[in-house]
Amino acid sequence: MPLNNDHIGQLIMEKAMQMISPEDDLFLQQLMEKNEAVRQQYEQACDKMQQATNKGIQPPTPETGWQQLDAKLIRRKRLKNRSYAIGAAAAILLVLLAGTLYFSSTQTGKQNTAITANKKEQLRLKLADGRIITLTDRPEISVNGMILTNDSSNHILRYRSSGKSTPENNKLNTLSVPAGQNYKIELADGTMVTLNALTQLSFPSVFSGNTREISINGEAYLKVAHNADKPFIVHLPVGKVQVLGTQFNINTYNSAAQKVSLVEGSLKCSASNHSLILVPGKAALLSENAITEQILNEDELTWIKGEYMMNNSQISEIALLITRWYGVQVILDGPTTGNKRFSGIIYKNNPLEDFLTMLKSTTDADYYFQGSVLHIK
């Protein structure tokens, strides 16, 4: 049986929730007799469980954990085996604990800095004529015959125009969402686009001609207004997506493997000389040379709610997410740090410190700040 911190942490969580198998229980008991640090870690887990119970939080089980989290995050039909069920319940418990407790830190005399989203960057709209408009706290803007209504409290930008097709309003405007934010925009045809952090959307003020065409670089969730006479086309850095009316997610953060996930409707994905018709519940990976079909991972869509679920994710991936969501520079200390793995949830609207303490308490990773730069080791 392999002996590593991730495995030990998993066994401790299983035992604390009384879900451990007899064989693993015996192994862990023997390990605690030989290793004082493991025994203390188990006692701390039991203490946290008791504190949560005292606060009215009932520890989840494989049968009830999916209900406590959200049916959209963990579908019961996906809890097909014991290891996934235990992992899901453990992740839920850690999230519940993180909301009510502060895990003890092994660092003494060192004050951690609470980091929230970087608010220096602002939401910007670059008009087709090159002018740049900062949208923050500007409720209504009139420009080029187009009236922008900016609902900053609900993070939604809407616009309406004269409806006339002119050379100017057929050109592309570009909306740029900075790190630490997300925003929605309702396009001229009623299509709603939810943009994740560090995403750019290029769109015309008026859809003219026989198609509706936009470009996305980053991540976005689209609810496309149905119009059979005007196909909706989304241009990606390595391909395009054509749709009549549907809901889908686009992720181009990884330029080598850009992903399209279909929730409703149908899509035609094209890249280079390849094409693929997607049906609901499927996803497509697009590269310069190929398109590959996958099963849709619903956990990847929870960013729309400001949540991101990690199931055995590498810290190198988590570091990129932290940079996007919090606007914080992250440096991984050591060549193997990025290979460490973590399961749990990060909430965009919660302080980064909450997540980092959970990361430290449940893995062998540690962190520290040098100024505003986050180091993970």
Strand order across the 330-332 sheet: 330-332, 373-376, 367-370
pLDDT at 117: 41
Total Cβ atoms within 10 A of residue 322: 23
Are 180 and 327 within 8 A, CB to CB?
yes
Instruction: Report the DSSP pairing between strands 219-223 and 199-204.
Output: unpaired
Query: Degrees (nearest 5) of the Cα angle 232, 237, 238?
Result: 90
- Cα Dmax for the chain: 79
What 3-state class would DSSP assign to 77? helix
3-state secondary structure of 319: helix
* Cα–Cα dist 133/143, whole Å: 10
Decide: helix, strand or coil at residue 175: strand
Burial of 326 (0-12, 13-18, 19+ CB in 10 A): buried
pLDDT tens, residue order, the chain (377 aa): 444 555 676 677 777 766 677 777 777 887 888 777 788 778 877 776 676 566 555 554 444 433 333 343 333 334 334 444 444 444 444 444 433 332 222 232 333 333 334 445 678 888 888 888 887 666 777 666 667 777 766 778 877 665 555 555 668 889 999 888 888 999 888 899 999 999 999 998 888 888 999 999 999 999 999 888 899 999 999 899 998 778 999 999 988 889 999 999 999 999 888 899 999 999 999 988 889 999 998 888 989 988 888 888 899 989 999 999 888 899 999 888 889 888 888 888 888 988 898 888 888 889 999 988 999 99
Q: Which residues of 106-134 are buried (b: 16+ CB within 10 A; e: fewer)?
A: eeeeeeeeebebbeebebbbbbbeeeebe
By C-alpha distance, which of 312, 316, 284 is closest to 299? 312
Tokens of 211: 């198609």
* 244 burial level (CB within 10 Å; 0-12, 13-18, 19+): middle
Q: How far is CA 361 from CA 3, 53, 285, 332, in A?
A: 18, 19, 34, 18
CA–CA dist 377, 336 (Å, integer): 9
End-to-end CA distance of the chain: 26
Contact 318, 355 (CB under 8 A): no
